[in-house]
Structure 1
Amino acid sequence: MLSRLSIDQRRVQLIDCALDLAQRTGMSSVTVRAVAEEAGVSLGIVHYCFDSKDALMAAMIERAVGDHLAAFLRVESLDDLGGDVAAADVSGPVGADELRALLTGALTSVLDVVQEAPERWLVLIESTVVSLRAPSTSGAYSTAARQNDLAEDYGLRYLSAIGARTAMTWDGSERAVVRAALQLIYGMIQWWLVDRDDDRARTSIALLCDWITERATPVEPGALSAR
Structure 2
Amino acid sequence: MPRMPLAERRRQLTEAAIRAMARDGVARTTTRSIAAEAGVSLSVFHYCFDSKQALLESVIETITDHYLGVVKEAIRPRATLRETVRAGFRAYWDHVRARPAEHMLTYELTQYALRQPGFEHLARRQHELYCATYADLIERVSGGGPGFELSVPVPVLARYLAAMTDGLTLNFLVLGDDRAAAEILDMVSEHVAGLVRAVEPIEPADPVQAPVG
Partner of 1:50: 49
Max radius of gyration: which structure? Answer: 2
Residue 149 of structure 1 pairs with residue 128 of structure 2? yes
TM-score (norm 1): 0.81
Contact 1:21 1:29 in 2 (8 A): no
Contact 2:152 2:195 in 1 (8 A): no
User: Cα 1:179–1:23, aligned 2, differ >3 Å: closer, same or farther?
Assistant: same
- For 1:185 and 1:16, the matched residues in 2 are separated by 23
- For 2:184 and 2:98, the matched residues in 1 are separated by 19
Contact 1:65 1:124 in 2 (8 A): no
- For 1:71 and 1:189, the matched residues in 2 are separated by 17
Partner of 1:103: 85
**In structure 2, what residue type is equivalent to 1:202?**
A
* Runs of at least 5 residues in structure 2 that lack an aligned partner in the other structure: 204-213
Partner of 1:190: 170
Local SS of the residue matching 1:2:
coil
1:57-96 paired onto structure 2 within 5 Å: 57-74=56-73
TM-score (norm 2): 0.86
The runs of at least 4 aligned residues of structure 1 exceeding 6 Å deviation read none
- For 1:67 and 1:8, the matched residues in 2 are separated by 17
Count of residue correspondences: 202
RMSD of aligned C-alpha atoms?
2.2
1:1-227 paired onto structure 2 within 5 Å: 1-3=1-3, 5-74=4-73, 98-135=80-117, 138=118, 140-165=119-144, 167-171=147-151, 173-222=153-202
- For 2:102 and 2:60, the matched residues in 1 are separated by 10
**In structure 1, what residue type is equivalent to 2:138?**
L
- 1:146-185 CA deviation, whole Å, 9 max, x = no partner? 1111111121111111113474211561211121122111
Partner of 1:85: none
- For 1:126 and 1:37, the matched residues in 2 are separated by 22
More helix by share: 1
Local SS of the residue matching 2:40:
coil
**In structure 2, what residue type is equivalent to 1:193?**
L
Deviates more, 1:168-177 or 1:119-128: 168-177
